[in-house]
Amino acid sequence: MNRAKTLTLTAAMVLLTAAGSAYAGKTLDAIKERGFIKCGVSDGLPGFSYADEKGNYNGIDVDVCRAVAAAVFGDATKVKFTPLTAKERLTALQSGEIDVLSRNTTWTSSRDSAQGLNFTGITYYDGQGFLVNKKLGVKSAKQLDGATVCVQAGTTTELNLSDYFRTNKMKLTPISYDKSDESAKSLEAGRCDVLTSDQSQLYAQRIKLAKPDDYVVLPEVISKEPLGPVVRHGDDEWFDIVKWALFVMVNAEEMGITSKNVEEMKKSANPDIRRLLGVEGDKGKDFGLNNDWMAVVIKQVGNYGEVFDRNVGKGSPLKIERGLNALWTQGGLQYAPPVR
């Protein structure tokens, strides 16, 4: 199963060797010709990317890809989602299987350099935490000496976990699964005492358990996990489009533009808003797209605040506070460069 997927990716890598040079720096052209964007998402994480019973994908990571599709095609539905495990995701992007990876992936120095990837921004400021059964009576992560911990293979959390236990001189027994569902099942069965992951994921995993109230997220946050969309090195035009699809949503929230009022806002006298919505100037064209693409993104997908609330915030079962993900004007870290 997994071996098969790894081999497929390798085969894709080999094919890339034959076909790769054909579209060096031409990702956008290839996408336009194909008619849809290939977007890598997670294999099932409520709030971030999750397929409902009808097979429709929902989540904050999914909406980032929809925003890119709205920017390129003026139609947010022109996306094909590929569910990927943590282990498969980077190879899939490197080999050209997908155009953009939007899968709660942590921005790190080695991924940005040696792995040949570019992070386009930060969709969600996260940190690693621990989920435990209340029955254990553990109040702090410092009490986890000797615990068996379930973790997803090939993630930054796997590395942070080892670092944390080592620096605190605690004994660790890790079990690395490929899929987050397997980790959750193992926690429920008692194969491991603790499940570790990004805090947002822990809340998402918890509502998937049979008895969510029996489990508690420990207060410690042991790492910085800035999660964002990723593209390959070597195509700056495509890098800019993916980067700005997110910036547009953040700027829109800051300016008070929502998917509901975007048409009215086009009549606004504020030059910042007029530029963003493509009423004034030709900032949109500079990206090689329609001049009003930013307005289309806001209309079809919404601003950052709408996307957050609908998927992980107060309008969702997860009910996660904005916290670090509030706008910079409201004490958070979400900040986008100006459209100028």
Question: Which one among 163, 214, 237, 286 touches another protein, defined by CB under 8 A?
Answer: 163
Q: Is the separation of the CB atoms in 318 and 312 below 8 Å?
A: yes
Q: How far is the CB of 166 from another protein (least distance, A)?
A: 6
Q: Count of residues for the chain?
A: 340
Q: Is the separation of the CB atoms in 172 and 149 below 8 Å?
A: yes
What are the angstrom distances between the C-alpha of 336 and each of 29, 48, 61, 246? 27, 21, 18, 9
16 lines the binding site for another protein (CB under 8 A): yes
Q: Label residues 148-172 b or e (16+ Cβ within 10 Å = b).
A: bbbbbbbbbbbebbeebbeeeeeeb
Q: How far is the CB of 221 from another protein (least distance, A)?
A: 19
Number of residues that bind another protein (CB under 8 A): 61
5's CB contacts (< 8 A; 6+ apart) are 85, 88
86 lines the binding site for another protein (CB under 8 A): yes
87 lines the binding site for another protein (CB under 8 A): yes
Can you tell me the distance from the alpha carbon of 10 to that of 171, in angstroms, rounded to the nearest whole number?
Answer: 36
Q: What are phi and psi for residue 173, nearest 5 degrees?
A: -120, 100
Per-position DSSP letters for 177-228, written without gaps between them: ESSHHHHHHHHHHTS-SEEEEEHHHHHHHHHHSSSGGGEEE-S---S-EEE-
Q: How many CA atoms lie within 13 A of 302 on its CB side?
A: 12
* Encoded tokens for 111: 């991924």
195 lines the binding site for another protein (CB under 8 A): no
Which residues 229-258 are close enough to bind another protein by CB under 8 A?
232-234
147 lines the binding site for another protein (CB under 8 A): yes
Q: How far is the CB of 130 from another protein (least distance, A)?
A: 13
Region from 58-66, 165-173, 195-203, 323-331 binding another protein, contact rule CB under 8 A? 165-173
Which residues 37-76 are close enough to bind another protein by CB under 8 A?
none
Residue in 187, 173, 178 with CA at minimum distance from that of residue 153: 178
Question: Which one among 43, 61, 97, 178 touches another protein, defined by CB under 8 A?
Answer: 178
Question: Which one among 35, 146, 331, 338 touches another protein, defined by CB under 8 A?
Answer: 146
Question: Which one among 37, 60, 64, 172 touches another protein, defined by CB under 8 A?
Answer: 172
Question: Which one among 58, 162, 258, 268 touches another protein, defined by CB under 8 A?
Answer: 162
> Torsion over CA of 184, 187, 192 and 196, rounded to 10 degrees?
50
Which residues 89-118 are close enough to bind another protein by CB under 8 A?
90-91, 94-95, 110-111, 113-117
Question: Which one among 169, 189, 213, 282 touches another protein, defined by CB under 8 A?
Answer: 189
Based on CB atoms, which residue is closest to another protein, 102 or 251? Answer: 102
Based on CB atoms, which residue is closest to another protein, 163 or 214? Answer: 163
13 lines the binding site for another protein (CB under 8 A): yes
Region from 34-42, 61-69, 146-154, 315-323 binding another protein, contact rule CB under 8 A? 146-154
* Encoded tokens for 221: 């946050």
Say which DSSP state 334 is in. B
Q: How far is the CB of 1 from another protein (least distance, A)?
A: 6
Strands 230-232 and 117-119: antiparallel
Q: How far is the CB of 193 from another protein (least distance, A)?
A: 5
Question: Which one among 145, 214, 237, 286 touches another protein, defined by CB under 8 A?
Answer: 145
The residue behind tokens 């099932």 is: 44
Residues forming contacts to another protein in the complex (CB under 8 A) are 1-3, 6-7, 9-10, 13-14, 16-18, 20-21, 24, 86-87, 90-91, 94-95, 110-111, 113-117, 136, 144-148, 153-155, 158-159, 161-163, 165-166, 171-178, 182, 185, 189-191, 193, 232-234
